[in-house]
Chains A and B, each alone.
Chain A
Amino acid sequence: MTPNELSQFRSRLPHCELAVYADIRSRLVLATDGALRYPQEYLDALCACAAQLFEGIPDYAGQAVEQVLFLGPTGGRAFFRAESQPDEALCCIFGPGAGVAELTAQAGAALSAGGAA
């Protein structure tokens, strides 16, 4: 997923405050787009969180975790593993008013487009 594709993805989601595309194996942030300018250590922490989830959470019935959605009272995080590049993931921070179903749909579309490109 290119920085431009990431920016287009986030522009369709008004409650998505930060989108990061990262290589979770090397813990490397590949692209970022946010409502604020986040410090690198924060982006790295989000990337590390994705790695902890996708590399640490065990498979269930032989099926690997490919999507993790977290929600709390003040908002949430979403992590989507790229199907075509399993070492890469799209990570999002969103506010409490976000439509999670719309977020997951847009993420799926963006990752499919990015994979096909």
Chain B
Amino acid sequence: MSDLARLKAALRRTAEDGLAPRGAEVFDRPEDGAAIILGHVDRSMLGRRLGFRFDDGTGFDCEASGRRLIRLLPPEPPGLEPAGAALFDGAELRPEQGDLLAATLVTLCGGRTSLRMSSEPLGDAADPSQGGIDTSGLFERLGQAPADLAQGAEGGDLDALVAEIGGDLLSGLLIDGEEVTPIRGDGEDADRISPWAVDAVERLLAPDFPLAMALETDGIMAFGLKGSTERHLVVAGRLGRLLVGVVSGADPAETLVRWQRARR
């Protein structure tokens, strides 16, 4: 990797931690600009307030959660027809407003060539758990696909990870929203993993934990235990689905290698 590429990669990771402003994202057509906006919504599993600023200084804020655009926040940006401007009233968006929303995003990107996105977590009280408009339908209205998330959108990577760990997965839980599925739920580890998972996931997905979004969207975290030669712990996320597990062996690095293999 060249020094320049290394620098760019380091800056990108810094931006992902929310500690540096993201660079401008350039688009040729208004539809492409709208797709960039939806792409950021599509990567927002946890509740986030997203801000978009165009190259001419105009912009807007919105709330996103669970890959859905929940609401557009006032004030509305200039240049919109009354119907489109009315969407920026802070009320929860409804599915029947999808066509108007997609058209409004395209209108907003018209005559503009780039945008910058900023992101901050929503507090617990404001974190919407449902409602809004799913991004998949909005992408369809734009005639585009969320290419970077299409593969594994059903959480297949976690199933591949479970298969890769194989019999070394002593016990685990697959968490998909409010649905929790035990994996190999026998023995003392099966009794211990659930309470540990409750406490650990609450902290790892807390709005103020900087790796929460990356972990829940597409990441793995492995925990080595002091003095343990028998087991370590793992939390892996893929598009809102989580695997929490106890893995045989003391080396958490080995589980990260398995995660990499499962993605190939």
Contacts and interface: CB of A to CB of B under 8 A. Distances in A.
A107 B160 CA distance: 29
A25 B219 CA distance: 27
Contacts of A56: 203
Interface string B15-46: 01101100000000000000000000000000
B264 interface: no
B253 A72 contact: no
B13 A58 contact: no
A30 to B, nearest CB: 20
Contacts of B215: 70, 72
B166 to A, nearest CB: 19
A101 B253 contact: yes
A20 to B, nearest CB: 13
Interface stretch (B72-80, B118-126, B255-263): B255-263
A64 B258 CA distance: 24
Contact of B196 (A38, A48, A60, A73): A60
B256 A66 contact: no
B219 A71 contact: yes
B14 interface: yes
Interface stretch (A4-12, A92-100, A109-117): A92-100
A48 B206 CA distance: 14
A interface secondary structure, majority: mixed
B233 interface: yes
Contact of A67 (B7, B199, B252): B252
Contact of A74 (B7, B12, B192, B199): B12
A71 B259 contact: yes
B190 interface: no
A18 to B, nearest CB: 8
A93 B222 CA distance: 15
Interface residues of B, number: 46
Interface stretch (B56-64, B109-117, B130-138, B223-231): B223-231
Q: For this complex, into which size category does the number of interface residues on chain A fall?
A: 35 or more
Contacts of B100: none
Contacts of A65: 223-226, 233
Nearest to A102: B253
- Identify the interface centre among A42, A61, A71: most chain B CB within 10 Å of its CB: A71
B9 interface: yes
A67 B223 CA distance: 6
Contacts of B222: 68-69
Given A17-B10, A101-B251, 20 more contacts: A42-B20, A49-B210, A52-B203, A57-B204, A58-B199, A58-B200, A61-B188, A65-B226, A66-B224, A68-B223, A69-B253, A70-B221, A71-B219, A71-B221, A71-B256, A93-B10, A96-B9, A100-B253, A100-B257, A101-B257
10 contacts: A49-B209, A63-B225, A63-B227, A67-B224, A69-B224, A70-B211, A70-B214, A70-B221, A71-B221, A104-B253
